[in-house]
């Protein structure tokens, strides 16, 4: 289907499976916790050696802070304004051409989620949100009880509360589609809760989580307090376990039918999301050559190609007023300004009050004009 032949140059990420940010988030948080712990250990060490100078050692970069992000970015490709991550749509086969604002890369032609840009993800501030952390803490005991009692429904309901707090409190980690599209957001929360529940009730997943905890605890650290590093020979077993977790997760999500719950239908990105979250957590603590090897193994070496504006038609989003480009042959795009899906099959609609011309989001028959707030309706309604 579509304009372009599907190309097979994208790395094979496995079959039709789905998990995405669920696993990524879990690994990322695990990594961050361990890093914080390592930094405390390193700080204590540093403090002991610096005590003779009577000076308090300078604080290490807070994980998730902008300083931390810069450390990670230094390992990834340098910034290239006017470039876009090289990738191809799995659904219609089109290459990505237009610039992106977030880590979530959507197709310029059919609005499918086609890639996740680790470099973009590292640019954002991923500091934990207090309300989200409070929700996680307040549901943990009940979740453990539900898991022990084999009560999947209760467990899933608790996870829904957690992920509701997540999309609200950590919006930068979630697709921009969740910002203004209620149905997308609800589906995403349901999907994430379903994935978490599948893992919690799967013995193989639980065993691998225990193995991961063990291997992370066995990590050895070097470097100094300002830049603690992980000893590579103690790090690779962690990566081996991650790889097993990814494969197990793919099979588990396939058997649990989670692909149908995923509002982005992005099962081909399962591995990429998981590796990305893991790399986001650990890259900043690895020696440069180990970091490069990890990116290679994860298939995440960033490649960027120049943005191609082509002879796209300039349009404006009826939801937020942002300008976007409709490329020849495109049927739908996601607005980079507000995350709403734009249906390009329908004609642009003028505002009767201010005269601005706009494209209404898919499924919306009327909206408040983003420029003057007057009501704008599709023709033929009433
Ligand atoms: Zn596409
Ligand atoms: Zn918009
Ligand atoms: Zn108007």
Residues 6+ apart with CB under 8 A from 361: 181, 317, 318, 319, 335, 340, 341, 342, 343, 367
pLDDT band at 47 (very low <50, low <70, confident <90, very high): very low
Q: Which of 51-60, 264-273, 297-306, 341-350 has the lowest mean pLDDT?
A: 51-60
State the ligand closest to the CA atom of 107: 1
Ligand nearest to the CA of 355: 3
Phi, psi (5° rounding) for residue 67? -60, -45
SS3 state at 349: strand
CA-nearest of 279, 316, 321, 325 to 299 is: 279
Q: Which numbered ligand comes closest to the C-alpha of 89?
A: 1
pLDDT class for 379, splitting at 50, 70, 90? confident
Structure tokens at 50: 């610096």
**The tokens of 81 are what?**
């304004």
With 60 as the cut, is the pLDDT of residue 294 above it?
A: yes
Query: In the prediction, which pLDDT does 140 show?
Result: 93
Give 205's contacts (C-beta < 8 A, 6+ positions apart): 198, 199, 245, 248, 249, 252
Query: Percentage of the chain with pLDDT > 90?
Result: 51
C-alpha 355 – ligand 3 centre gap (Å): 6
Return d(Cα 215, Cα 238) in angstroms, integer. Answer: 6
Mean pLDDT for 352-367 is: 92
At residue 224 the predicted structure's pLDDT band, cuts being 50, 70 and 90, is confident
Q: Ligand nearest 179 Cα, by number?
A: 2
Please report which ligand is nearest the Cα atom of 349: 3
Q: Is the pLDDT of residue 192 over 90?
A: yes
Q: How confident is the model at residue 51 (pLDDT cuts 50, 70, 90)?
A: very low
**How confident is the model at residue 111, as a pLDDT?**
96
Cα(181) to ligand 3 centroid in Å equals 21
H helices within the chain, ranges in order?
Answer: 21-50, 66-75, 118-123, 130-148, 152-169, 182-200, 203-217, 232-255, 270-282, 288-298
49 C-alpha to ligand 1 centroid (Å): 57
- Measure 343 CA to ligand 3 centroid, in angstroms: 20
Say whether pLDDT at 285 is over 60: yes
Please give the share of the chain, as a percent, with pLDDT higher than 70: 76
- CA–centroid distance, 353 to ligand 3, in Å, is 5
pLDDT reading at 9 higher than 70: no
Residue 358 CA to ligand 3 center (angstroms) comes to 9
349-350 and 357-358 strand pairing: antiparallel
Residue 228 scores a pLDDT above 90? no
Q: Is the pLDDT of residue 348 over 80?
A: yes
Task: Give the lowest-confidence range in 30-44, 118-132, 164-178, 229-243.
Answer: 30-44
pLDDT at residue number 26? 59
């Amino acid at each position: 289907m579509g304009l372009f032949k599907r190309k097979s140059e994208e790395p094979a990420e496995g079959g039709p499976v789905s998990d995405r940010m669920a696993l990524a988030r879990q690994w990322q948080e695990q990594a961050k916790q361990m890093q914080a712990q390592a930094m405390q250990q390193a700080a204590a060490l540093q403090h002991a050696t610096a005590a003779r100078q009577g000076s308090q050692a300078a604080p290490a970069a807070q994980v998730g802070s902008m300083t931390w992000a810069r450390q990670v970015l230094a390992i990834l490709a340098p910034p290239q304004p006017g470039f876009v991550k090289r990738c191809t749509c799995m659904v219609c086969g089109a290459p990505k051409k237009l610039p992106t604002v977030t880590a979530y890369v959507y197709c310029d032609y059919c609005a499918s989620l086609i890639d996740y840009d680790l470099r973009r993800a590292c640019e954002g501030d991923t500091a934990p949100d207090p309300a989200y952390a409070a929700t996680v803490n307040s549901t943990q005991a009940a979740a453990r009880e539900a898991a022990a009692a084999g009560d999947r429904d209760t467990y899933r309901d608790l996870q829904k509360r957690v992920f509701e707090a997540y999309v609200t409190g950590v919006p930068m980690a979630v697709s921009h589609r969740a910002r203004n599209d209620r149905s997308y957001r609800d589906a995403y929360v349901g999907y994430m809760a379903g994935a978490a529940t599948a893992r919690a009730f799967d013995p193989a997943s639980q065993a691998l989580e225990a193995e991961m905890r063990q291997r992370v605890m066995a990590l050895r650290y070097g470097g100094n307090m300002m830049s603690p590093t992980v000893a590579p020979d103690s790090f690779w077993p962690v990566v081996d376990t991650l790889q097993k977790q990814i494969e197990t997760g793919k099979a588990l999500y396939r058997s649990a039918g989670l692909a149908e719950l995923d509002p982005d239908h992005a099962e081909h990105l399962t591995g990429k999301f998981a590796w990305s979250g893991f790399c986001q957590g650990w890259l900043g603590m690895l020696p440069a050559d180990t970091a490069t090897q990890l990116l290679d193994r994860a298939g995440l070496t960033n490649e960027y190609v120049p943005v191609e504006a082509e002879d796209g038609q300039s349009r404006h989003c009826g939801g937020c007023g942002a300008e976007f480009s409709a490329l020849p042959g495109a049927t739908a795009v996601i607005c980079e300004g507000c995350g709403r899906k734009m249906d390009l099959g329908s004609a642009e609609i003028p505002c009767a009050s201010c005269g601005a011309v706009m494209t209404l989001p898919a499924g919306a028959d009327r909206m408040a004009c983003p420029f003057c707030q007057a009501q704008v309706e599709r023709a033929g309604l009433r």
